[in-house]
Amino acid sequence: MKKHWLILVIGAILSTTHPTPLFAQDKTFELLAHRGLHQTFNPEGVDKDTCTAARIDPPSHPYIENTLESIQAALDLGADIIEFDVHPTIDNEFVVFHDWTLDCRTDGHGVVREQDSRYLKTLDVGYGYTADGGKSYPFRGKFIGAMPTLREVLTSFPHVSFLINIKSNQQEEGRLLTEYLHNIPNAGKGRLYVYGKGAGIDLFASLNKDIVTLSKQQAKSCLQSYILFGWSGHISGACHHKLVPIPANYQWLIWGWPDRFEQRLKKVGSRALFMGAHRKGKADSGIDDVESFKSIPVGFSGIVFTNRIDLIGTYVTRKNSQ
């Protein structure tokens, strides 16, 4: 109970001393496109085992996530950073693919990381997408061989920033990704962000001090400390060289939001990641519509997370041209 009262008191102070403007008038931030330009789906009832490719909305564009074409399309719509997932393979590659297994989206079967990259390159990664319960499959045959390696992505877009998701919590994966990036000439580590969970991201962060990282536990520790002691300007070690996610409905808790907070993060090599409203069990809520966009404070210069680069990118471009 005391903790709840503390939060309410802090909120009351912040609401009077650090008011949040209605929305950003000019684009001072960077847009992060989650999954690039992808097919949308109804998130109602989705859990970790749900095949989302089998419940997509009627397609409004010809792209699917985690392909070179999707990345380019997202960039064309105004994305500054592209998020994607990676898996190691048995032949020492990393492939860019969302699911843990192949069965939902492709014509292949089995766990992705138990495969050879040459086999993965033969698959139709658009095979399982359907918007009408399996009556039609609009992307079949259009993305055969389109699962890229991480090397292909980094070399195809040498000046683009990426947020890479380590899919497992295995410590070994942090080491493997470190070695993989080290062996790619001009990988451009300064343009990479990496996130994940558990021992994998913890080891990666310890081995790559020059790469900004994010994990759920680190973010929780960072924000708890800042909510309690941020009035003093103190930034705990848990916030150093990190992406710090700020849900839109909790920005009122952040001391000095947004200007002073961002200045403090910058001094420790970190950046704020502005998310959509936090809801229980929904970790990837984004700024996905115009009303959500209006919650971005004026002058925010961090990273804005969106699942709908098609909507938000277009809106920002149109707004800036007025």
Task: For helices 216-229 and 2-17, give the axis angle rounded to 10 degrees.
Answer: 70
Side-chain-side CA neighbours of 288 within 13 Å: the count stands at: 11
* Model pTM above 0.85: yes
Q: Domain containing 260: what range?
A: 2-49+60-98+147-320
pLDDT value of position 26: 62
Share of the chain above pLDDT 90, in %: 82
**Which has the higher per-residue pLDDT, 113 or 23?**
113
**Is 135 within the bounds of a domain?**
no
So what's the pLDDT on residue 4? 43
Of the ranges 19-33, 108-122, 250-264, which one carries the lowest mean pLDDT score? 19-33
Rounded distance between C-alpha atoms, residue 310 and residue 297, angstroms: 21
Q: Is 197 part of a structural domain of the chain?
A: yes
pLDDT exceeds cutoff 80 at 129: yes
Count of the separate structural domains present in the chain? 1
256 CB burial (10 A radius; 0-12, 13-18, 19+): middle
Domain contains 55: no
Task: Determine, yes or no, domain membership for 114.
Answer: no
117: in domain? no
pLDDT tens-digit readout, 209-263 = 999 999 999 999 999 999 999 999 999 999 999 999 999 999 999 999 999 999 9
List the CATH number of the domain containing 279.
3.20.20.190
Does 227 map to a domain?
Answer: yes
Q: 116 in a domain, yes or no? A: no
258-293 residue pLDDT tens: 999 999 999 999 999 999 998 765 656 899 999 999
Cite the DSSP H helix spans in the chain: 2-17, 68-76, 117-120, 150-156, 171-182, 198-207, 216-229, 259-267, 290-293, 309-320
Contact 138, 129 (CB under 8 A): yes
- 196 Cβ partners below 8 Å, 6+ apart? 165, 166, 167, 168, 169, 173, 174, 204, 215
- The pLDDT of residue 134: 97
User: CA triplet 104, 73, 312: central angle to 5 degrees?
Assistant: 95
Q: Say what the pLDDT of residue 186 is.
A: 79
- Tell me if the bond preceding 247 is cis, omega within 30° of 0: no
